């Protein structure tokens, strides 16, 4: 059981990954509404297709108002390369209409004046926006402390014992936000994603070259339970 091993501290994980990978590249900052649409497009698709779908959408419709007014089929066609276009197109249009009704304009800039929990509550009140999507908007666009938990962050957090075994992604986000100093949210999030993509794979993790191996409950457990070579 991984719980039988002592997990490293958040600070130690950050310092170790920072020393191994170097400072992460900060993402380009977009207006909150732009980041929200981009993040919705990213759901269940690869980064490269997300970028293409967003570019196609903004090339086809120069303003969000044009997206609101367009036939849903036309919006879906513009984002087709991103996958799930017939779900994402009406979802994006519905969110834009709700934002326009609530904010009086197609902008979420006014949210930046609110406390983080109120920002999160509003964003997650929009249909199709969960805690991870809201956290992406808050962290990358508003620079408000939040910890998006994607599949890589979730896997790395579980293996390192930063959260209890079998913890859901949503609960993992809550626990990481409670345990992580606010100034580390952004770099730690990016470093954990890089680590999950580079070494801590879902299958066949490269534990032998991992900078965290001597303090990782997952690696220590595997080493103890695997038979010694003959």
Please identify every residue annotated as catalytic.
132
Rg (CA), the chain: 20
Nearest CA to 205 out of 147, 167, 158, 150 is that of 158
> How far does the chain reach from its first CA to its final CA, in angstroms?
25
Residue with tokens 């936000």: 177
**CA–CA gap between residue 139 and residue 190 (Å, rounded):** 11
Structure tokens that stand for 49 in this block: 């297709």
**CA–CA gap between residue 230 and residue 215 (Å, rounded):** 26
Structure tokens that stand for 195 in this block: 């680590």
Residue with tokens 């509550």: 121
CB 180 within 8 A of CB 188: yes
3-state secondary structure of 122: helix
Apex 184 CA angle, 128 and 112, nearest 5: 50
Structure tokens that stand for 58 in this block: 């903004």
**CA–CA gap between residue 112 and residue 144 (Å, rounded):** 8
């Amino acid at each position: 059981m991984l719980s039988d091993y002592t997990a490293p501290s958040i600070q130690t994980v950050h310092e170790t990954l920072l020393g191994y990978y170097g400072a992460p590249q900060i993402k380009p900052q977009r207006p909150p509404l732009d980041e929200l649409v981009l993040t919705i497009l990213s759901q269940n698709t690869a980064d490269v297709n997300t970028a293409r779908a967003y570019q196609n959408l903004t090339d086809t419709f120069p303003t969000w108002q044009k997206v609101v007014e367009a036939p849903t089929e036309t919006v879906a066609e513009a984002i087709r390369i991103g996958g799930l276009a017939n779900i994402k197109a009406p979802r994006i249009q519905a969110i834009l209409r709700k934002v326009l009704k609530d904010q009086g304009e197609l902008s979420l800039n006014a949210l930046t004046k609110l406390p983080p929990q109120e920002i999160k509550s509003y964003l997650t009140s929009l249909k199709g926006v969960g805690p991870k999507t809201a956290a992406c908007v808050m962290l990358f666009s508003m620079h408000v402390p939040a910890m998006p938990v994607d599949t890589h962050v979730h896997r790395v957090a579980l293996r390192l014992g930063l959260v209890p075994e079998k913890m859901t992604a949503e609960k993992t986000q809550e626990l990481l936000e409670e345990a992580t100093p606010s100034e580390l949210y952004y770099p730690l999030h990016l470093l954990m994603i890089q680590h999950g993509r580079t070494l801590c794979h879902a299958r066949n993790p490269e534990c032998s070259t991992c900078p965290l191996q001597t303090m990782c409950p997952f690696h220590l457990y595997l080493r103890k339970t695997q038979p010694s070579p003959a």
